[in-house]
Structure 1
Amino acid sequence: MNRLTKDWRFGNIYSVLGLLFIGYGVFALGGYGNDDDTYRMLSTWNTLISQGQYVPSRFQGYLIPEIAIGLASQIGGFFLANLVSVVLSIATLFIFYQLLCRITTPRVAVLSVLAIGANPFWIIASATSIDYIYAAFFFVLGVFLLVDQKFKWAALIFAAAVSSRITYGPMAAIAYFLYFFYVQREFKTRSLLVQSFILFLIASAAFYLPVFFASGMTLSFLGIGPDASGGFVGIIARFVYKNIYFWGLPAFVLLGAFLFQDRTDLARKIAANPFQNTQAEKLIFYGAFLCVVYNQIMFFRLPHEYGYLFPVLFSVVYWIATSEKVKRIQYLSLLIVLQIVYGLIFNFDVIQTYQNDVNPKTVHSDSAKVHFSIKEGVLIRDLQWRSTYQKYQLEEFYKKWGK
């Protein structure tokens, strides 16, 4: 790489990340956020320091975000708690950029980072005190360390991702499984990889000991919350709708066009045996493919929060960035623009949601009907909701704990 290329590469990524940092930082000034899980995590921290007892915020607890968000909040309020999310988000994008630069051009890698960073739900998670960014950060860092064969650190970081969101455990296992075939002929490396995987399992289990004991030394914490509003039809409707509106309708149509144009190449890669004539590119593609399949299965079980789809966001952007058949620059640029419009300007929506409670307490709806309308951008809507949902959650939190 010549000096000019190197300067272009780092000059552009630092400018992009600096711009995202400022944008996320401004958005982070709006408070802890609307997600009720944030206030559950803060309550977990307050119970821990005031009573010396660990009470999980939810089923699995998610120990690392509970402690990190609680401690940051105690020291610096929502300013510091949100700032940690901003920093972790920017770090995640930079690590992903470093990974992409090994398999594509710096320009494509920069646009890929922007395509992820411009997603409105990624922005919301990056600028509020919620756990999704913690899991994404640790997982992407774990992949980076695994590829660099820093196996012990990779094991511990992957375990931290599992502690942040337990659904990242199978994805870490997929990464280990595929990398095993990449180094299978190198006995020493293969042995170190197996040891790393064992360490990952032990460390992950250790992170869940507090919630295990808090659950009466049972595995009841491994359950998931119900989301049965509307029955099976309701689950299908939410699954389809949220997969579309995770991107926004125009961007989803763009992705459909990409999949159609790249269908032959994608089908060939999926049909190919990744373990025959093993190559890094084939294994990485299969890792992204399995990640999408796994996350869609899990999301179908509980089509609840948009943050569950962040692994899909990274995988789809990776597919575009490494495609050999389509104009990657144009697709990534359009995806960025459409997501910015979706977040800040307008949302062409196809349903109208309703809540049964006269004074709604959370952002989650109880029912919906088909209704075509043009609404405000997702980020604008999230800020507008602060006066209702964040206000209610804060009032309830302060009633219990005081200011």
Structure 2
Amino acid sequence: MRSAKGIFSAKPKVWLVLIIIAYFISRFALLKTGFGLDPDAWRIANSAFDLHFLGYYHPSRLPGYPLPELIDSILITQGWIATNLATSIISLLGITFFYKILSKLRMKLKLLITISFALMPSVWINSANSMDYMWATSFLIMALYFLIDEKVCISAILLGLSSASRMSNAIFVVPFAYWILSSEGKRNEKLRKTIYFLCLTIVIAGIFYIPIINEFGLKFFPHLPGKMTKILVAKNLVRTFGLLPCIAVPLALIYIVSKTIITKSSRRRILIFSIISMILVFGLFAKIPYEACYLLPIVPIILLALTTGMSRKALLIISILLIQPSIFTFRPQKIIDKGAILKNIRHREQQLDFAKRIISEASHKHSVFVIGTWLPVVTYLKKVEFLTEGEMIYFERKFPNKKFWDHEKDVWFAYLLTDDDLNYFKGAKYEIFFLPGIDEANRKIYGVDLRVKGAKEMPIH
């Protein structure tokens, strides 16, 4: 039997194998429970389903997330286990390349930092669902590795794939361009490389957006929802990353930036790259702060910045704080509560159960059921039901993400209803129902009061 000392002195490759095994074990319960808690994960599944089975591509939501939608369309026949597993594999590649970046730059505690990145709640959860966050982040990490390795062509291709997963990641061309221009060599040669990098990145990403541009033209950016209050944004950040990391990490960054800028550190180039990236990402987030996970691509770069000047003890503390919300959380009523992972598993199970209850309750023929963000979940489950029974699947080609028609019962499921929608359905003698709370959302967004218009609340809670 090997001693404890022998185990902990094992070679990095042995540790990586053990981490890979632990990685998939830790994700297993999430992989088999729906496409994810975020309704957008189900929208991606519907986009993939329609492309595979109906031969029609529509983005899950604008401006489009074509790369994961395309890959998922190949895997959708095997359901959510296959698409979630694809996300897990690409995420594992990203985590592995993050370790390789830390190794290449000779950063301290590289294994611990990698583990903390893999086990922080936002990464853990989004590496085991069908969302696009970790697709974009993983390709970004790989692009950064090859940029540091001076393989500009490969880096540009990977950044293009990252942008094809989430268009917002295209902003990283700016810090990537800085990295090339700040490298050693002749000015003209560096400028040529930078232009080549930018053009190749745009071409690779642009290829994936051709179907969307063809359908919507160049005006394919979504209408943004109402403004978010600062309190709500703060709550989202704490729920996604944890309270203590949201306090400790900004303080640590302020310390690192001030220390490195003043003392002309050899890590200055890495830090400037990180600062440019953070300014761009946080600036964009300030404009569209609707989901805290929009910040996920900057997380590995923040960790990279922290390793440039923090002591081993400080990095150990930061790593523990990053992982802690995954395992347990603090609540005023309960002091210590379940962590984000167990909560996510339970909520995903409840999501599936409630969606099936909606379908079961929607038994009135010639009716409309307004179900808000439950629409993509119900739509996918109904499509699978029709496919299993060999029935035809009908959908609104113009607004596939807003309505779905159960032709057997002549039942419509709708996200929300505009005044025109309501007048049409009432004119056609449809009975209209809505989930509890949806009437308020409908009134806020479209100014239409479903109750006043004669709609009834569904007897479901």
2:360 — aligned with what?
A: none
Q: 1:18, 1:50 → 2: CA distance?
A: 34
Q: 1:331, 1:348 → 2: CA distance?
A: 25
> Contact (CA 8 Å) 1:288, 1:315: kept in 2 or not?
yes
1:380 — aligned with what?
A: 342
2:279 aligned partner, one-letter code:
V
2:299 — aligned with what?
A: 313
* SS of residue matched to 1:347: strand
Within a 5 Å distance, the mapping from 1:72-87 to structure 2 comes to: 72-74=75-77, 76-87=78-89
1:60 — aligned with what?
A: 63
1:225 — aligned with what?
A: 224
1:305 aligned partner, one-letter code:
E
Q: 1:375, 1:14 → 2: CA distance?
A: 32
* SS of residue matched to 2:32: helix
* Residue of structure 2 aligned with 1:348, choices 305, 322, 331: 331
CA RMSD of aligned residues (A): 2.9
Deviation at 1:37, TM superposition (A): 1.0
Deviations, residues 210-265 of structure 1 (Å, cap 9, x unaligned): 111121x2x2212353143xxxxx432233333344331233343355346xx2x5
Q: Greater share of helix residues, 1 or 2?
A: 1
Q: 2:351, 2:226 → 1: CA distance?
A: 20
* SS of residue matched to 1:208: helix
Q: 2:150, 2:41 → 1: CA distance?
A: 35
* Residue of structure 1 aligned with 2:260, choices 269, 274, 282: 269
* Residue of structure 2 aligned with 1:24, choices 1, 22, 27: 27
2:165 — aligned with what?
A: 164
TM-score, structure 2 as length reference: 0.70
Q: 2:145, 2:251 → 1: CA distance?
A: 31
Q: 1:18, 1:280 → 2: CA distance?
A: 36
Deviations, residues 133-162 of structure 1 (Å, cap 9, x unaligned): 110111111112222232222222111110
2:139 — aligned with what?
A: 138
Paired-residue identity, %: 19
Q: 1:45, 1:280 → 2: CA distance?
A: 47
1:162 aligned partner, one-letter code:
S
> Contact (CA 8 Å) 1:289, 1:315: kept in 2 or not?
no
* Residue of structure 2 aligned with 1:49, choices 37, 52, 63: 52
Q: 1:153, 1:322 → 2: CA distance?
A: 26
> Contact (CA 8 Å) 1:21, 1:90: kept in 2 or not?
no
Deviation at 1:64, TM superposition (A): 0.6
> Contact (CA 8 Å) 1:32, 1:390: kept in 2 or not?
no
Deviations, residues 347-388 of structure 1 (Å, cap 9, x unaligned): 337xxxxxxxxxxxxxxxxxxxxx997543211221121233
Within a 5 Å distance, the mapping from 1:121-132 to structure 2 comes to: 121-132=122-133
Q: 1:221, 1:289 → 2: CA distance?
A: 30
User: CA separation of 1:169/1:372 partners in 2, compared to 1, >3 Å: closer, same or farther?
Assistant: farther
Larger radius of gyration: 2
* Residue of structure 1 aligned with 2:245, choices 220, 236, 251: 251
Deviations, residues 156-204 of structure 1 (Å, cap 9, x unaligned): 2111110100111011332123322214526546534422321212222
User: CA separation of 1:139/1:174 partners in 2, compared to 1, >3 Å: closer, same or farther?
Assistant: same
> Which structure ranks higher in relative contact order (CA pairs < 8 Å, sequence separation ≥ 6)?
1
The answer for unaligned runs of 5 or more in structure 1 is 229-233, 274-278, 350-370
Q: 1:30, 1:336 → 2: CA distance?
A: 28
> Contact (CA 8 Å) 1:92, 1:141: kept in 2 or not?
yes
1:151 — aligned with what?
A: 152
Q: 2:199, 2:351 → 1: CA distance?
A: 43
Q: 1:375, 1:195 → 2: CA distance?
A: 51
* SS of residue matched to 2:241: coil
2:311 aligned partner, one-letter code:
K
Out of 112-121 and 192-201, give the one that drifted further.
192-201
* SS of residue matched to 2:229: helix
User: CA separation of 1:191/1:35 partners in 2, compared to 1, >3 Å: closer, same or farther?
Assistant: same
User: CA separation of 1:159/1:122 partners in 2, compared to 1, >3 Å: closer, same or farther?
Assistant: same
Q: 2:263, 2:148 → 1: CA distance?
A: 22
